Amino acid sequence: MILIFLGPPGAGKGTQARRISEKYRIPQLSTGDMLRAAVASGSPIGQQAKTVMDAGHLVSDEIVAGIVAERIEQEDCASGFLLDGFPRTLAQAEMLDRILADQDRHIDVVLALNVDDKALIDRLKTRVKETLAAGKEVRSDDNVETFSKRLEVYQAQTAPLVPFYAQKGLLREIDGMQPIEAVAREIDDVLGHSGTAQ
């Protein structure tokens, strides 16, 4: 099963993706996590990505698609994987189609988590408070200013993927405004009915 989670920052993609990854035993590939790991390692890609990420902009399509292409060739992705945070532009979506076609594979379903902007900002503030209260470090792009930029970038560059995947008949919209458990149930329903769940 190859599954994509689409949605604005803070929509709950990571949370839901983690659960689905455990339930269906397929790896969760988060390009945000991969890029943060590259930043932490101090690699050339990481150094390049850090400035872009801290400004709330997108890392180049070629870099991100290259990271994903390499990752999905690994053994643990043989029976499927889920993408969380990729693709984020039409160019990335087209690159992904080509990468998968070369491997004779295809996307099974795209889950779009819908959450309105005000709720996303509220969630961000809560997340920052909770992270600080737990004595942990807040992500360098988790502040209201950068987050607003990330939302703008989402609307301009990533939202066009919704009609792109709808046209292909792959899109399933999920009400991400509900509590986590209700969102999870809606996703389970969709996967149960789409014939993709193993």
Cα–Cα distance, 30 to 21 (Å, whole number): 11
- In the complex, what is the shortest distance from the CB of residue 192 to ligand AMP, in angstroms, rounded to a whole number? 27
User: Where along the sequence are the contacts to ligand AMP (CB under 6 A)?
Assistant: 9, 31-32, 35, 52-53, 56-59, 64, 85-86, 88, 92, 141, 150
Cα–Cα distance, 66 to 71 (Å, whole number): 9
Q: Among 19, 105, 127, 149, which one carries the catalytic annotation?
A: 127
Show the beta-strand stretches assigned E in 52-178: 81-84, 109-114, 171-175
For residue 35, report the phi and psi dihedrals to the nearest 5 degrees: -70, -40
Q: Among 13, 36, 50, 172, which one carries the catalytic annotation?
A: 13
CB-CB contact of 10 with 84 (8 Å): no
State the residue number with the nearest CB to ligand AMP: 32
- Assess whether 88 carries a catalytic annotation: yes
Q: Among 19, 105, 123, 139, which one carries the catalytic annotation?
A: 139
Q: Among 88, 118, 123, 168, which one carries the catalytic annotation?
A: 88
Question: Tokens 């709950």 map to which residue?
Answer: 12
- In the complex, what is the shortest distance from the CB of residue 151 to ligand AMP, in angstroms, rounded to a whole number? 10
For residue 65, report the phi and psi dihedrals to the nearest 5 degrees: -65, -35
- Residue with Cβ nearer ligand AMP (3 or 53): 53
Question: Tokens 């709808």 map to which residue?
Answer: 166
- Assess whether 150 carries a catalytic annotation: yes
- Residue with Cβ nearer ligand AMP (10 or 80): 10
90's tokens: 């039409």
- In the complex, what is the shortest distance from the CB of residue 181 to ligand AMP, in angstroms, rounded to a whole number? 23
Contacts of 41 (CB under 8 A, 6+ apart): none
CB-CB contact of 112 with 162 (8 Å): yes
- Assess whether 127 carries a catalytic annotation: yes
- Assess whether 139 carries a catalytic annotation: yes
- In the complex, what is the shortest distance from the CB of residue 97 to ligand AMP, in angstroms, rounded to a whole number? 15
Catalytic residues: 13, 88, 127, 139, 150
